[in-house]
Amino acid sequence: MPKFKVQSLRSKVQESRARVSEFRSKKRHGKVERNRILAALLLCLPLVAVPIGSQAQEINPEGFPIPDLAGLTPYSIGIELLDGVEKIVERFYTPGGGHVARLRGNGKVFAYAVDNDRDPPIDYLLIDLEGSGRFTKKIRPEESYLIPEWVSR
């Protein structure tokens, strides 16, 4: 085989290897780019989820109006001990067909649960976070809550 054909063949093999290497590099770059985009989307997900989740609770520094229990018919009282706190739940029927529950811990009112139709779940819960008598936090039924720390003092 003449020398020029061998050189020509070698250069074609080298060109072919270079193209394959370039193709692999682009393919890898595409995967890296796709992974970067996916990572960016996953990082943004909590930013989208936070506003949706935060709509469930409201804070009013002045306090939300609490239900007036005067004249309501009591129908149930439940008592349980939770983490050293005696929790008492008093339930009252409302004239409109709903009910209200007053929650006490160690004799101190810390929350009111309001339900306008008597069917689960409740509509919302008002919580006194600081023991000031102002019920500043309003949460929806899908949220959990803790008995405020001031109740056990």
Q: Which amino acid is present at 133?
A: G
What is the per-residue pLDDT for 82?
A: 85
Which residues, given as ranges, of the chain have pLDDT below 50?
47-54
What is the per-residue pLDDT for 86?
A: 94
Q: Is the pTM above the cut of 0.85?
A: no
- b/e map of 138-147 (b: 16 or more CB within 10 Å)? bbeeeeeeeb
Q: Which of left, alpha, beta for 66 (phi over 0: left; psi -120 to 50: alpha)?
A: beta
* Percentage of the chain lying above the pLDDT 70 cut: 71
> If you ran DSSP here, which 8-state letter would residue 150 be given?
G
* Domain residue spans of the chain: 3-55, 73-152
